Amino acid sequence: MVINGDSNLRNAYKDNNNELGKWLKLFYGLSFLPSDEIEDAFLALIAECPSLEEAHVFTDYLVSTYIVPDSLFPPYLWAQEPSVNPRTTNGPESFHRTYNGQFYSPHPPTHVVLSVLKETQAQTLTIINSIKNNEHNPIAKKKNKSKIELTLQNYNDYKKNKDLISYLRKTGIPTKEKI
């Protein structure tokens, strides 16, 4: 990413007391906004920049890659208001890693593949039945649940108060001290 390629940005980002570094971390909060608010939020962040001279490489990169509708990864692909739904494809990736980990050779015997498929099917049916019976908790870990609840609360506060920068400070990457 651009931050690693520029020593001034990299050093600022690593320093939790650096104003430019604090500003760079605000951009992580953009993914927790609706996609139609991204351009305005980006402009608000530009207005807050402590050093546009140093940050212009980063902001130019963001515009062409993420911010404008015709960018490489437009906001509708990555930005949405917070919800309890998963925001990643790690579920399928986890499944395939676990599934592939069941085999110890590139060409396992057919009976081994069938056994693994039957076991996977049994686990899947158990999960489906528990969901049907309302016995399945979609937020498995308390830590994740509390993070999601905090993000939702912060978003509700943002909708009520319309304080964008404060919201981005709360939802950006956590640091040892508050920005």
pLDDT score of 46 more than 80: yes
Interatomic CA distance for residues 30 and 27, integer angstroms: 5
Question: Which tens digit of pLDDT belongs to each residue from 64-84?
Answer: 999 999 999 999 999 988 887
Question: Which tens digit of pLDDT belongs to each residue from 91-148?
Answer: 788 788 888 888 888 899 999 999 999 999 998 898 888 888 877 655 556 667 788 8
Both tokens of 141, joined, read 């870990």
Q: In what helix (H) or strand (E) does residue 26 lie, and over which residues does it extend?
A: helix 19-26
Domain boundaries, the chain: 2-81+164-172, 89-136
Interatomic CA distance for residues 145 and 46, integer angstroms: 32
Interatomic CA distance for residues 178 and 158, integer angstroms: 17
| CA neighbor of 50 nearest in space, from 62, 40, 58 | 58
